[in-house]
Structure 1
Amino acid sequence: MIQQIYPSVVHPFCYELNKDLQFAAAHYVPSDAAGKCSRVHGHTYFVNVTIAGNDLDAAGFLVNFSEIKKLIHDCFDHSLLNDHHAYFKDEDPERFPTSEVLARTVYEIIQAYLDRSENKPRCLQVFLRETPTSYVVYLPRAGDSYGI
């Protein structure tokens, strides 16, 4: 795993968890404006997820690290992102599998899982690196996820 210092999120919670993970996936951006990226190509994506909350679950976790990995790695690793029709749509630019949309999608998947947990932690940030020189940070809109 790449050793990286990620941007910090200021928040009012007493616990903060960060999970690094990576997966290899191919994609294409179905737009002429994407240039070479409109053709199928692949990346090894590096992702950091920041989760925070005030309460631990019955096992003493804010969230189990392994659950975060299962949600993302097991879903996307060694796949063509465009084939995940529940998340990406070739007809909708808001759902093209760009790094920006992928980071937002990772947030949506994780937050949906957290919303079902008893202790209700919040996903505060998704950092997604597509290449060694290019990355995206997704932060949910204020008020959408902080619950404050």
Structure 2
Amino acid sequence: MIGLLIGAPRRHSAPTGFCRTRRPHVVRAGTVADLKDRFDEINQLISERQGWVTSVRGAPELRFECLPGSPLPDELREAGYEVSETDEGERILPAGLVERFIVGHDGERKLVTEGSTRLAQVLTHAGIVKVMRHVFELTT
């Protein structure tokens, strides 16, 4: 205790690889390098399908977000992953809001009505959208 008071280096009593406040990560299959390689492949696949990976590269669990109704979770299930939905959240997207409108004869913008045959202009804005969060075990 005296060493702590005078600035001596602290000694960790927990075994190497353990943290006092969190459970240790147990890698069940493969090495961390294998998990990182697998992560890169899955991250690319999820990004190409308009999803967002939120877990840390090399972690044994992969967490991702996608828009509601996205076929991405089902595609991953078909590929053999046990994907489960955890909760929902929000994300800011650069084109989260889309306005379709026409310019009237008076020059004013008017929202497009269903069945309209006039050429619509599209304007996008950044906006907050609802996302679904999912998780699955990343094994090699």
Q: Which has the higher helix share?
A: 1
TM-score range, shorter chain: under 0.3
- TM-score, normalised by the number of residues in structure 1: 0.25
Point out the structure with max Rg over C-alpha.
2
Q: Which has the higher strand share?
A: 2
